[in-house]
A = this chain, B = another copy of it.
Amino acid sequence: MRKARQVTLSDIAQVVNVSKVTVSKALRGHPDISSETVAKIKKVAGELGYYPNFMARNLSSQRSNTIGVIVPKIAHSFFASIIESIYDAAFENNYEIILTVSQENADRELRHIHSLLSMRVDGLMVSISQQTIDFSIFKTVRERGIPLTFMDRVVDDPQFNRVMVDDYGGSFSAIEHAISVGYTKIGHVAGFQHINIGRSRYKGFAEAMNKHNLPIRPEWTVFGGFGENDGYLGFKKMCSSGEIPEFVLAVTYPVALGIYRAATEMGMKIPRDIDIICFGTSASNRFVSPSLTYIEQPTVEIGKRAFEITLENIRKGDQFEPKQIILPTTLVLQDTCRKKTAGVRENIAAG
Give the interface of A toward B (CB within 8 A): 1-4, 6, 49, 51-59, 64, 73-77, 80-81, 83-84, 87-88, 91, 96-101, 103, 108, 114-115, 117-120, 140, 142-146, 228, 254, 257, 260-261, 282-289, 317-318
- A137 shortest CB reach to chain B, Å: 11
Q: List 18 A-B contacts (CB under 8 A).
A: A1-B143, A1-B318, A2-B317, A3-B144, A3-B317, A4-B144, A49-B144, A53-B59, A54-B119, A55-B56, A84-B103, A87-B101, A96-B98, A97-B99, A98-B98, A254-B283, A257-B283, A257-B287
**Alpha-carbon distance A97/B98, docked complex (angstroms):** 8
Query: Contact between B146 and A3 (Cβ–Cβ < 8 Å)?
Result: yes
Residue of B nearest to A83 (CB): B74
Given contacts A282-B284, A288-B288, contact A108 B84 (CB under 8 A): no
List residues of chain B with CB within 8 A of the CB of A77. 75
- What is the copy number of this chain in the assembly? 2
Known: A1-B142, A84-B101. 8 other contacts (CB 8 A): A3-B317, A51-B114, A53-B59, A53-B120, A75-B84, A282-B283, A287-B289, A288-B289
**Alpha-carbon distance A57/B80, docked complex (angstroms):** 32
**Alpha-carbon distance A103/B98, docked complex (angstroms):** 16
Residue of B nearest to A260 (CB): B287
**Alpha-carbon distance A52/B1, docked complex (angstroms):** 32
Residue of B nearest to A253 (CB): B284
Taking each of A55, A97, A286, which has the highest tally of chain B beta carbons within 10 Å of its own beta carbon? A55
Query: Contact between A55 and B119 (Cβ–Cβ < 8 Å)?
Result: yes
List residues of chain B with CB within 8 A of the CB of A228. 283
Given contacts A1-B145, A285-B284, contact A108 B91 (CB under 8 A): yes
Residue of B nearest to A270 (CB): B287
List residues of chain B with CB within 8 A of the CB of A144. 3-4, 49
Residue of B nearest to A73 (CB): B84
List residues of chain B with CB within 8 A of the CB of A143. 1, 4
| A58 CB contact (under 8 Å) in B3, B55, B64, B283 | B55
Taking each of A87, A144, A284, which has the highest tally of chain B beta carbons within 10 Å of its own beta carbon? A284
Given contacts A59-B56, A144-B4, A284-B257, contact A117 B81 (CB under 8 A): no
**Alpha-carbon distance A97/B115, docked complex (angstroms):** 11
| A75 CB contact (under 8 Å) in B49, B59, B80, B142 | B80
- A185 shortest CB reach to chain B, Å: 24
- A51 shortest CB reach to chain B, Å: 5
**Alpha-carbon distance A91/B107, docked complex (angstroms):** 12
Query: Contact between B55 and A59 (Cβ–Cβ < 8 Å)?
Result: yes
Given contacts A74-B84, A75-B84, A87-B101, contact A118 B284 (CB under 8 A): no
